[in-house]
Structure formats: C-alpha cells, structure tokens
A = this chain, B = another copy of it.
C-alpha cells in the first residue's frame, strides 16, 4: 500500500479541468461565463465597452488562479490549460479577441516558456483581428534564475498583485499603455519565495510529481514542484519564515522606511491556521527592520493542487500602487 494513492474528489482525470470550469460557472454566474467550446472563462459582461481588458491564463492546478479573479477591477479573461500545462495559443487568441472592448488588451503572463510562447502566438492571432495587445511577463520568484519550464525567474504569487493593480487601472479608465506601466511597476517591485513540505499529485499522473523525504522540505520550490534552492531538514515555522523573508527582502533591497504589501500564500494543502503562524513571524521580522506593512494578505491565492507549504510575497508600494490596491474589486476569490 502506498500512502500516495490518489485521493481526489474527481471523476475521470482527463475531465477535471472541464468539470471544474463548469462548476465555477455554476457557482458564480454573476461573475463569469465560459466561451463556447473553450477552456476559457471571461467576465460575465465581457467585453466591457471602452475599457482596457486585462487577461491572464496558465496551467490549471493553481486555483483560484486565474479564473477566481474574474470581475470588476480585476481580470476580464482567464484561460485554463490542462493541469500544470500552458493553454494553447488558439485558446489564448480567442480569449484576447473576446475580451477586447475596443481599448486593447493587456496579457499578464507568468514566466514559463510554454505560457510565454503561446501568449505570443495568441496575441499575434488577436492582433490580426485588429486587437491592440500588450503583454507583461511576471517573474517574481527570487529563488532560482533558471528552472524546469523557465528561462529566467518563474512567475508565481506576485502575479495576483499585478492582476489587482492592472485591473484597477483599467477600471479607472487608464489607457493600455498606462495599464501596462502600472503592471510593470508591480513586477519591478515584487518578490516571492516558497517552500514545500510535501509534493503534490496531479490527476493525470496520480502520484507525487517529485519525491520529498518525510523529514525534509524543499526551499525555493516552484508552483509545479520544480526544484528549489535546497532541501533541508524540516524546521520550525519561524526558521522557515526567516529564511524565505530574508531572501525576498535581500533581493528587493527593501530597507527600513519602506512600505510593503505582503502575502502569505498557501500551496493548497496547508491549513489556514499555519499560514497565520507564518504571518505572525513575517510581520515581526518586518517590524524589527523598520519596514511598514501597509496591507497583509493571508490565504490560498496561487496553489499547487494539494501541496503543503507556503510562499511569501513582498511588494514595495508607493502612493500610486496603494491607491490601485485599495480600489474596489469584486471577484469570486478577491473582494476589496
């Protein structure tokens, strides 16, 4: 008997993404609808006439990313690939065209080679239909420079802050270039690092995507279980938090006097109580360093199926970013 037999609330492994999307539409018809025949959800009222559209997408298995963020002040479209697999260029092209309200579309892309390539092609396809398209690539993971699936840094939980800021700017009537500019400001000022206590099990594979000893954890893990910076003996939460936070702050060069937004993000299998234990230490560290937390998010924002673990995100904010982060947003997974 293996402890890793697949215990999931699913039917056929190949149907999970399709059935999940149907379940989302059934739960949130006021927020989102599905594009016929596609694994793409868009805002219920898309395209919004005259507004810049903000869209995203990527492999499934990271819920509520991305479709949970569809709604006013956030995303207009979200393409869902198969589990941990990029959406196709066709799906992305259709999504971009469907969301364009005449003011152009900003694509928020996480830095994985498949996503970047398929968004490029999808954007070209939409451009041929006279849609003005811009892209930003999020690469907030400070752990490793290159990784499985990625040249350069991976895009992880900081992406949600890009959604929030770009979505708010678009809702406020910003032009495409302005929406892109604030998205890039977030990307320039955000860093994330994660840890896995356990692997995760994809429905198709039915067994762990990587092996991790019972007494070890992986620091700097990617959201698909890509290797991180090191494997170490399991440590108390405070030590883990110290390690992740120091790496992120060092990378950003965040000093005393800075104002930040933080996210303690659960990887999917970690109880909320533990995320708050991590947040306690995170805020203690920031306070000790004279860094002021303007807002602290704690919860499951970008997950890795049933993986146990968390990531810590820090974004340095200025008045412009604070105003956009505080602006109203209304989606299934995030309401401000």
Residues of B within 8 A of A166 (CB): none
Is A269 part of the binding interface, using a Cβ–Cβ cutoff of 8 Å?
yes
The reply to whether B24 and A236 contact each other, CB–CB distance below 8 Å, is no
Q: CA separation between A297 and B332, bound complex, in Å?
A: 9
Residues of B within 8 A of A36 (CB): none
A81 to chain B, nearest CB (A): 13
The reply to whether B306 and A276 contact each other, CB–CB distance below 8 Å, is no
The reply to whether B27 and A279 contact each other, CB–CB distance below 8 Å, is yes
The reply to whether A277 and B23 contact each other, CB–CB distance below 8 Å, is yes
The oligomer's copy count stands at 2
How many residues belonging to A are interface residues under a CB distance threshold of 8 Å?
67
Q: List the B residue with the shortest CB-CB distance to A296.
A: B27
Q: CA separation between A325 and B113, bound complex, in Å?
A: 45
28 contacts between A and B (CB under 8 A): A1-B213, A1-B214, A3-B3, A3-B4, A3-B214, A5-B214, A5-B234, A7-B197, A8-B197, A9-B275, A9-B278, A16-B273, A16-B274, A19-B237, A20-B273, A22-B280, A23-B278, A23-B281, A26-B279, A27-B276, A27-B283, A60-B273, A68-B272, A268-B272, A271-B303, A271-B305, A271-B306, A335-B335
